[in-house]
Structure 1
Amino acid sequence: MARRFPNAIFLKIDVNQCPTTSASQGVTAAPTFIFFRNKTKLDSLQGADPEGLEARIRQHYGDGEGEEVEDSGVPGHIDLMPMINKAGCECLNESDDHPFTQALSSSGGYMESDTDEQLILYLSFSQAVKLHSMRIKGPSENGPKTLKLFINQPHTIDFDTAESANPVQELTLAPKDLDGELIPLKFVKLQNVMNLTIFFKDNQTGEETTQVSYLQIIGSPVQTTKMSDFKRVTGKKGESH
């Protein structure tokens, strides 16, 4: 596994030597695999299932096709891209040549609307998350301007509903915001999010189509663990064993 995922760190903990740690992590069976990113607990898996383990690693590591997880740049929060369940996502009025998936990484490509300037992007997460902020990159002419955010919708809303419904937050972006600047979200209202709907209402200059070259959602899973909860068994801080 370590050879196939060189950017992942694999650690083995003896539950007999570290009973406090295993108890704090809810380990009740062996083997148990726990996944962390930036000191935040993302997921866990019990049982000796090599195929299931590899699938779970790929879920949090990336898709193995050159997709890289970006640094969030926000202490205590992560890029939530690995927690987006792409199979459960949908984008209305996206161009066939430029679907939403091209905007979920900074490796090139872009999302573009099709028949007019509006887009509705429905993002499903693999577990409940807290949303802190986002970054958007796009052209100064037809990059997005007005965004309406909705959460925990039972299904993808249509354009009439998106126009008339009250969002949890509405954003008006300036051209400078489309350079990847951090865009704060209403964190207190976004604490238990299973899905996020973004309605791209218009663009900066009224162009026929809207383009988004990169979209980063920043936050953290609701279930988290502080690394300080791990207790040392022997030795002093800084020593290796």
Structure 2
Amino acid sequence: MLHGEQSDGGVIYMRCRPCIRISPAFNLLSNRYPQVVFLEVDVHVCQATAAANNISATPTFLFLRNRVRVDQYQGADAAGLEEKVKQHTENDPGNNEDSDIPKGYMDLMPFVSKTGCECLNESDDCGFDNCLTKDDSYLESDCDEQLLITMAFNQPVKLFSMKLLSSDFAQAPKLLKVFINLPRSMSFDDAERSEPTQALDLTEDDFKDDGLVPLRYVKFQNVQSVTLFVKSNQGDEETTKINYLTFIGTPVQATNMNDFKRVVGKKGESH
């Protein structure tokens, strides 16, 4: 979720009149988490808004980040609702005050569909999941220095750049081929001979904490999946290591928060 006065996201409470018992808890959360925008919508008054968001039961709480719906919670369980709010505020990639992400873009990790991801030649002990979180764990190749990574998204996105971190520069990726929206899984032979959407020759600057690897934005406008072929590493080491991998960009479709503010803009209806 986005925070602060300029936030474009938060929690939207889709309610009907019988949902009144959860309303005090929702109001309390709006005071407890002042950095999050809380909005309230009466589905009987705003039927078009409810239909547009496929609301089939109430109360339903929609969680948005950068005007994009990333999660929802149903039910009148106050403890469960607060746990969901905590989950999104604590795991928000935008919470980092030192964020190097340019204005208007976001870390797309919340939109990664893990069931659609794949990594070939990953080590049994240091697998692909390790590079999806910022900690001491890492992804390491197995038989040689090459990796073939596919990351799928749960909705179409536009890619602006890629972020890569590696604690050992000698084992960091060097030559990469980037492919998008492949109709089937790619083999290493396919990757070697196929023309990529973009080829990259990475340098030490690309792996700095504030570094971003720019992508040709016009070529990455409607991306459902990205496949990275790591051909070599910086020091010609036997294996390649990646501590963190993510993409920076925006979802293709975004929710217009002004629509919600307009329909619930009466005094006392939003928090």
Provide structure 1 residue ranges, at least 5 long, that are not aligned to the other structure.
none
Q: Secondary structure at the match of 1:141?
A: helix
Query: TM-score with structure 2 length normalisation?
Result: 0.70
- Give the Å deviation of 1:176: 1.8
> For the residues of structure 2 that align with 1:120 and 1:156, how far apart are their CA atoms?
10
Residue in structure 2 matching 1:185, options 205, 209, 215: 215
Query: TM-score with structure 1 length normalisation?
Result: 0.78
- With 196-205 and 219-228 compared, the bigger mean Cα shift is at 219-228
| AA in 2 matched with 1:169 | Q
Q: Look up the match of 2:249.
A: 219
Q: Look up the match of 2:4.
A: none
Residue in structure 1 matching 2:140, options 87, 95, 112: 112
CA RMSD of aligned residues (A): 3.5
The structure with more radius of gyration: 2
| AA in 2 matched with 1:233 | G
Change in 2 beyond 3 A, CA 1:234/1:42: closer
- Give the Å deviation of 1:14: 1.6
Q: Look up the match of 2:234.
A: 204
Q: Which has the higher helix share?
A: 2
Q: Secondary structure at the match of 2:258?
A: helix
> For the residues of structure 2 that align with 1:41 and 1:145, how far apart are their CA atoms?
34
Q: Look up the match of 2:266.
A: 234
1:124 and 1:196 in contact (8 A); partners too = yes
Residue in structure 1 matching 2:111, options 83, 87, 90: 83
Change in 2 beyond 3 A, CA 1:129/1:46: same
> For the residues of structure 2 that align with 1:117 and 1:86, how far apart are their CA atoms?
23
1:145 and 1:202 in contact (8 A); partners too = yes
Residue in structure 2 matching 1:70, options 93, 97, 104: 93
> For the residues of structure 1 that align with 2:270 and 2:145, how far apart are their CA atoms?
56
Change in 2 beyond 3 A, CA 1:157/1:69: farther
| AA in 2 matched with 1:130 | K
> For the residues of structure 1 that align with 2:152 and 2:130, how far apart are their CA atoms?
16
Taking the TM superposition and a 5 Å limit, the aligned residue runs for 1:1-241 are 11-18=39-46, 22=49, 25-26=52-53, 29-31=56-58, 33-37=61-65, 39-43=66-70, 61=88, 68-71=91-94, 73-138=101-166, 139-180=168-209, 181-230=211-260, 231=262, 233-235=265-267
Change in 2 beyond 3 A, CA 1:105/1:28: closer
- Give the Å deviation of 1:149: 0.7
- Give the Å deviation of 1:209: 0.7
